[in-house]
Amino acid sequence: MKTIRLALLLAGLASLAGCNGWPTSLDNRASGDVRFRYHHRLYDEWSVWAPVKHGKAVLFAHEHRVRDMSGLEITQGGLTYRYGARALGPIQRFCAGSSSCALVYRGEGRLEARTSALPDATER
């Protein structure tokens, strides 16, 4: 009986290890620090503003995927860039078949998506 429980526990842990629980990230490649927040379609409220230092990447909340976002805002300097459903559509379609999606912010409102992080991306 203990052997069966142990086997089930190990199988469960192995399956969780293969999951990508934090499938979306924002990599800041702008010339300075930025802040961002997003709106997940299942919630009434927006996420809190999160800072991202220049050259660093930040993971979104657990299991929050770009396909489920209905809005994204990035503040750089004194300007806020807003991405609604129309602007996010191409990114969502690009990321649809991938288990993870890295959003790369290049500055001045330029946003792109990759299905893997940039080779030199580091988390804060």
Answer for the pair 70, 45: CB distance below 8 angstroms, yes or no: no
Each residue's pLDDT tens digit, 74-87? 999 999 999 999 99
pLDDT value, residue 79 = 97
Q: Rounded distance, CA 28 to CA 16, Å?
A: 29
Each residue's pLDDT tens digit, 32-55? 999 999 999 999 999 999 999 999
Domain extent listing, the chain: 21-116
Segment 9-33 shows an average pLDDT of 68
Q: Which of 41, 115, 45, 21 lies closest to 84, judged by CA?
A: 41
Structure tokens belonging to residue 77: 């300097």
Range 21-116 classified under CATH 2.30.30: no
